Amino acid sequence: MNTGSDEPCEAAVAADKAPADRQAPGQPAGQEAGDGLGSRAPEFVKSRRVLHLSWQVGVFVVGLAVVVAGVVLLPLPGPGWVVIFGGMAIWATEFVWAQLVLRWTKRKVTEAAQRALDPKVRRRNIALTAIGVTIVAALAGTYLWRFGVVVPWKIKDQ
């Protein structure tokens, strides 16, 4: 096989065809042991049902507090989306649904970054930005030409 080809190697093809009987104990059916999904709580916590449930409630409450703080920061100056994704990461330490949401988000962000690096897209974005800056400059110039600049400390009393 040529090292520069796009064909998958034999080991990868064999791994894809391998049966999915690599299930870890205590893992729901349909999930493989190596897919990284599931609780990341310490083993002594997972071994006791009541302790594990209280652990999950604690993780959920802390994650919820961080997500709510991120939502509050969205209209305010601050890193709202970063905080929201931080809360999702906290939830992902314990909940499979949050792990899947984070995987999907990472995949979409990576795809968007790859699209943004495309030369055609970059040229289009630069052209649109130049047009937008020109329009804003024309509007600002028209406003200043028509009304002039009035500084707040020199406003005449009426």
Instruction: Sketch the domain layout of the chain as residue ranges.
Output: 30-146
54-103 pLDDT, tens per residue?
A: 888 888 999 999 999 999 998 888 888 889 989 988 998 888 888 898 89
26-47 pLDDT, tens per residue?
A: 444 444 445 677 777 777 777 7
Torsion of CA 40, 45, 46, 49, to 10 degrees: -140
On whether the CB atoms of residues 38 and 31 are closer than 8 A, the answer is: yes
By three-state DSSP, how is residue 62 classified? helix
On whether the CB atoms of residues 33 and 22 are closer than 8 A, the answer is: yes
